């Protein structure tokens, strides 16, 4: 393995972390906008709001884990480049493998977060129908 192999992941991981940050920021804005609405339930039907809050909590945790595993993937990628530079090829190989595994984990969490987001939209649409 040469230095260009892990270097190819740099732009991909950077863009992925930017996308995760944007998700987090938009979710934070949504939570802040929902806060006044959930304090009062004039019709006594707070079930949709409670379901939304539960979904939002789950999504925040997932996004945090996505960001953490993405950052760790980036760190392992940089570490593998350092190990290649130091001519520790075996360690570089395994470190790069760990970087790829963390990236896959991050992407799988992203799919899970997208599914929860879709469930939140279903809850919202159900509340509009009733």
- Report domain extents, the chain: 4-129
Of 60, 47, 40, 38, nearest to 112 by C-alpha is: 60
The pLDDT, as a whole number, for residue 5 is: 79
d(CA 67, CA 100): 15
pTM for the structure as a whole: 0.81
Q: What is the DSSP letter of 85?
A: H
CA angle 64, 93, 13 (to 5 degrees): 30
Q: Decide if pLDDT at 45 tops 70.
A: no
- Residue 75 structure tokens: 């760190």
> Per residue in 85-118, pLDDT tens?
999 999 999 999 999 999 999 999 999 999 998 8
């Amino acid at each position: 393995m040469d230095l260009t192999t892990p270097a190819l992941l740099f732009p991909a991981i950077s863009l992925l972390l930017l996308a995760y940050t944007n998700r987090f920021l938009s979710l934070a804005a949504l939570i802040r906008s929902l806060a006044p609405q959930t304090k009062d339930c004039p019709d006594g039907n707070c079930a949709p709001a409670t379901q939304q809050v539960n979904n939002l909590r789950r999504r925040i945790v997932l996004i945090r884990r996505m960001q953490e595993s993405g950052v760790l993937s980036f760190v392992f990628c940089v570490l593998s480049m350092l190990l290649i530079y130091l001519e520790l090829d075996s360690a570089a190989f395994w470190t790069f493998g760990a970087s790829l595994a963390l990236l896959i984990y991050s992407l799988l969490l992203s799919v899970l977060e997208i599914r929860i987001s879709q469930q939140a939209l279903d809850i919202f649409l159900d509340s509009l129908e009733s």
